[in-house]
Amino acid sequence: MRDKRTTTIALRVMAAMAADDGVVTRVVGAARGNSPEVARLPEAENRRHIATLLTAGAAHLRGGDGDFSAARALGADRAAQGVSIAGLLRGVHAGRAEVIRAGVEFARATGVDDSTILDFIVDVDSYVATVERHIISSYHTAELRLSRTARDLNTQVLRGLLVPDGAFPDSAQLSRVGLRTGSRYHCVVSDVTDPSRARSLEQRLQALDGVFGLVEGRLAGVSLRPPCPPEDDPPLLVISPATPLTSLRRRYPLCAKALAVASSRGARGVHPLTDLAAETALAAHPELADTLADEFLGTLDPKSAFHHELVVTALCYLDHGRRIGIAAAVLHVHPNTVRYRLDRLAELADVDLHEVPDDRHSHVLSTVRTWWALRTWIDRARGT
């Protein structure tokens, strides 16, 4: 138990330091000199906190109620000011050392013996360690609150930019989330719906100079630059061409529809909206797709493995530019097998991929109709 003499000396030294403007200057200088982030703040802001903490330290040594509100305020303020926890702690540790150094100087100047000074140092160090714990706790609490506030603002702005029935954000809101009205942005829509996974992906995408958040249940956003997904377990992302902010409302619904199409195909990674344009347009007319499949392939049996094989081969043949050699390599069969299957399909159904359309039909449109019918048939067959 500390004797009264040690307590009296500790109180006298701490009170003297709190009242000495020179000590406050030294502690502030140490904190700013060791933390560039702290140094970017106004010096008066640093002085205010240091002076308050030294005064609270004297009250603590006097056996007060342990009021650490100043420490908590310091942590919350630094979080709001954007100082990192590492930068904050560098300043705290430097200030801590300077406080102890100044305390030793004050004690020696008044003739205090070394053993009493050591007790004083232990007391001061214990107080500063407690202060540090309150600073860190308050910092993290404020950081979480600010993060939620920022996320709420991001979500509000994104809904206004992307969802047609929302109110379009004003210039002040756009500026607060870092968007520039004169720039062109990509609309990015992902298949990520799990909140924890969405936060992880959002952190990766923040470097693209954009804003991301959960919109209609999935991570979406806008970015100045196209994203590169993580190599490990990449999510599915659909990205539109860059467009003015006012045009994003027209792009987002298209990206959402294209995402559904790509997802149904098991796609992963980044896919430009333009690459999915044809499939997305066709997917918007399922009844017409069924009509084509029934008309061209109605004679095939969805439960027949052989018929399934014929349709898969025809799709592969069309997907690879009607090149038999490439289709055979993809399917791991001999080119003659591809030719045989295409011939058998022409015999069993109204699909002859060797036939050249007459002048009444565009070769491109004929291919699209055939591809659509084949894709619809195989999707329905897999669902049975």
Element (H, E) at 188: strand 184-190
Q: Is the pLDDT of residue 64 over 50?
A: yes
Would you state the structure tokens that stand for residue 51, as one six-digit string?
A: 């002076």
Among 170, 171, 371, 166, which residue's Cα sits nearest to residue 278? Answer: 371
The residues with which 220 forms a beta bridge, in sequence order, are 189, 213
- In the chain, what are the domain boundaries? 4-145, 182-279, 285-383
Higher per-residue pLDDT: 287 or 103: 287
SS3 362: coil
**pLDDT tens figures, 108-125:** 887 877 777 787 778 777
The answer for residues whose C-beta is within 8 angstroms of residue 266's C-beta and 6 or more apart is none
pLDDT band at 1 (very low <50, low <70, confident <90, very high): very low
Element (H, E) at 56: helix 43-61
Burial class (CB in 10 A: 0-12, 13-18, 19+), 28: buried
Q: Is the pLDDT of residue 83 over 90?
A: no
User: What separation, in Å, do the N-terminal and C-terminal C-alpha atoms of the chain show?
Assistant: 82
Determine the pLDDT at residue 127: 76
Q: What is the CATH number of domain 182-279?
A: 3.30.70
pTM of the model as a whole: 0.56
What is the CATH superfamily name and number for domain 285-383? PucR C-terminal helix-turn-helix domain (1.10.10.2840)
Q: Is the pLDDT of residue 381 over 90?
A: no
Determine the pLDDT at residue 338: 94
Determine the pLDDT at residue 245: 92
Question: Mean per-residue pLDDT for 49-57?
Answer: 78
- Of the segments 99-103, 118-122, 162-166, 270-274, which one has the largest average pLDDT value? 270-274
Question: Mean per-residue pLDDT for 188-210?
Answer: 82
Q: What are phi and psi of 113, to 5 degrees?
A: -75, 160
